[in-house]
Structure 1
Amino acid sequence: MRMEELTWPEFESLKERVNTVIIPIGSVEAHGKHLPLGTDVFAPLEIARRVEERLRGLGVEVLTAPPVWYGHTFVLNVYPGTINVGGDAFKAYVREIIKEFAAEGFRRIILLNGHGGNYSPLVLAAEEVTVDFPETEIWLINWWLDFREDILSICSSQGHAGQDETSVMLAIRPELVKMENARGEKRSSKVRIIKKDIGKELFPEGVNDDPSLATVEKGEAILSVVSEKIARLIAGDT
């Protein structure tokens, strides 16, 4: 159930029987020359849709909130189209969103995150909210990271704009994927280096992996296993 499609009386009624809200969170940023800038939002939005569908089959209702499109993306800010929100501002903004849902009475708030740079600010935002709302449980789910073993049983590698993300986008929005431009390589550093243009070194052309082996079938398999496991986690704790 999409929150933005409800009237306020419908929302008020829903709160009486639904205690869980899913907030898809991502980023607008470069994903190589083959994926759209909104990849990190498209993925959690689709996963949330599939989670809700699976839960409905189990007799469990959840609410899906409008997504948070812009995120903290310092590293990829070297590429055009990346809209970076500073860590403090992003944390404060998301904290207020979480706080409002807690004040509305939701006892489980799931931050379904699609972007790695959001991780630390999201943890801090959640921690601050729980001080004022100790009865509220906040889950932070990073879909590509928390289910990495499952994804690597489907893909031979994963990474930013890599085989896994590209496969997922082929399954979700194939018309936006330009596979003729899908190329890249895996880059890493022995320690975390923070400097202004580090993105050019670790993410050449906005990619950190080889996306050329991505397929629709792999994307469907990833979406299926991730949504199934998240749905089971929610249903088992309801």
Structure 2
Amino acid sequence: MEYSIFKDTLVDMPYPEIEESIKQNACVLLPVSVVEEHGPHLCTGTDIYLTQSLSQKVKQKLEAKDHQVVIAPPFYWGVNSITNSFVGSFSIKPETMTTILLEILENLKKWGFKKIFLLNFHGDFIHIKTIADIVAKANEKNIEAYFLIDSNFISRMDLNKDASYLVKVKLDPNKANLETNVIDIHAGATETSWMALSYRELVNTEKAKALKPTNLTLADLQQWVKGGEIAKNITPLGYCGNPSNIDLSKIKTMADIIAEKYSAEIINVCSH
């Protein structure tokens, strides 16, 4: 059970402990991701495992600075609009995702939690846009929910850049990805290395080392994001990048930097 996504979450806490955390004005981290194919070397739960791993690291950073925090049960029924032709990629409608997540947020508010931060490790633009819309709707219901989002996504998507519920995390693209020689955005060097660091039991390292870089061009990528059979034909093995470039030392440093940036933004929100 060492790799359980429920580890360190409310699921493993008796309810009196949850009540006590509310009395201590703890904020909530809510991991939101998907179950999706990740090539022949990684499990389909990669994105939610990594979102949970990031949440755990952020929690450690916050607690080290005397900020009370709990992690909600991970939500993994998100949108897969690119890999939806692969077995193992659950395709959930945005409206379904919206209904369930809003009710989860309503529960957390009803219990007394004041600030809720959503974290995501899945790069699908429709999925990201859905989370942003959900957080906007939550705030209309007087639920103080925030979406921690890489500022690089903000600049590339049609989102309300001035919305207070979108907490921009400034990540250097060259320091948030291990592989810079090829386009590496799905089940490549970064995700494979982070999984090997946090959940080595779920990584087929031998198979990953034998995989060749996909070497997609920007034109290929523009077609790939259309999803369906188009994406499957471009990446028939279900990965985009260079999975063989596993570097545990670099990913450990990178994960620590990312967690520090996320925790700093949460502290900034909580201080106002």
Establish whether TM, by shorter chain, passes 0.5: yes
**Cα distance in 2 between the residues matched to 1:84 and 1:58:** 39
> Equivalent residue for 2:131?
122
Secondary structure, counterpart of 1:220 in structure 2: helix
- 1:216 equivalent to 2:235? Answer no
The letter for the 1-side match of 2:133 is L
Please say which of residues 187-196 and 40-49 is displaced more in the overlay: 187-196
**Residues 1-238 of structure 1: matches in 2 within 5 Å?**
2-117=9-124, 118-133=127-142, 136-141=144-149, 147=171, 148-152=173-177, 154-156=178-180, 158-182=184-208, 183=211, 184-187=213-216, 188-190=220-222, 194=226, 196-238=228-270
Secondary structure, counterpart of 1:44 in structure 2: helix
**Cα distance in 1 between the residues matched to 2:224 and 2:36:** 21
Give the drift of 1:125.
Answer: 1.1
Which consecutive segments of 4 or more residues in structure 1 shift more than 6 A?
none
Please report the TM-score for the alignment, with normalisation by the length of structure 1: 0.88
Unaligned 5+ runs, structure 2: 1-7, 154-168
Over 3 Å counting, the alpha-carbon distance change for 1:191 and 1:82 in structure 2 is closer
Give the drift of 1:236.
Answer: 3.2
Over 3 Å counting, the alpha-carbon distance change for 1:142 and 1:72 in structure 2 is farther
Over aligned residues, Cα RMSD in angstroms? 2.4
Unaligned 5+ runs, structure 1: none
The letter for the 2-side match of 1:120 is K
Number of residue pairs matched by the alignment? 236
Please say which of residues 54-63 and 211-220 is displaced more in the overlay: 211-220
Contact 2:55 2:71 in 1 (8 A): yes
